[in-house]
Amino acid sequence: MNTNLLPCVEVEPVKPADAAVIWLHGLGADGHDFAGIVPALNLPENAAVRFVFPHAPERPVTVNNGWVMRAWYDILEMNISRKVDTASLLESAEQVSGLIRREIDRGIPAERIVLAGFSQGGAVVYQTGLAYPQRLAGLLALSTYVPCEQSLREVVGLPEVSEPGNRDLPVMVVHGSQDDVVPLQLGESATELLTTLGFSPQWRTCPIDHSVSAEEVEMISEWLKNVLNLKA
């Protein structure tokens, strides 16, 4: 067992898992933040989906006066460009890739693994999932943005990532139209960038702030049932 894996909260299905959802929390939260959403998704009772909610490492965050908190990367400037520490972003992306590899080692095929993330967690999902060399089941990006366009373009352009099938990766992007933490413009820009890179993201908005609503949970549920082919 790899002892360097991120600690996680895990929610196991009743029967042995044949699919997995790795869900990343936002800045300052932890893996417990979204664990309670699993029952609300109302997946079929026979769905054998393992939910994995990792805890981000603790690190000083520059825009929060250097306070140490759980963060997937350091944010250096809190403006519309969202200048970040690319090294810590890439480190977190590799750690999440390690969780994908663990699920594969547990017997879950890559094409049955979903990456989901909220806010800063969603930014890491973009960096990890779009660049993963094997086709995943899908990416779910909630109230988030692309923190470093250059690094994303570089990894997506690698030969092992550029297999034609990878561009068919289902991606759903959901953003609150009243989000004052990650402005709607950043979600729209991320969707446009993914389209430029050859992906076909599904863009949805909800009339909410920087949060997740019941309407959004219903959207997520239907999307998960579709990408994982979950039937009652």
Strand bridging mode 49-54 / 58-61: unpaired
Q: Rounded to whole angstroms, what are the CA distances from 69 to 57, 84, 98, 212?
A: 8, 16, 22, 22
Q: Which CATH code fits 8-227?
A: 3.40.50.1820
User: Which token pair is 151?
Assistant: 């690094």
Output the pTM of the full model: 0.94
pLDDT surpassing 80 at residue 78: no
Identify the band that residue 70 occupies on the pLDDT scale cut at 50, 70 and 90: very high
Q: What is the pLDDT of residue 1?
A: 42
Q: Which residues are catalytic?
A: 119, 179, 210
Average model confidence (pLDDT) across the chain:
92
Query: How far is 153 from 158, CA to CA, in rounded Å?
Result: 9
Weakest mean pLDDT among 98-102, 111-115, 128-132: 128-132
Q: What are phi and psi of 115, to 5 degrees?
A: -105, 130
pLDDT at position 3? 52
Task: Find the range with the poorest average confidence among 19-33, 67-81, 139-153, 218-232.
Answer: 67-81
| Strand 67-70 with 58-61, pairing | antiparallel
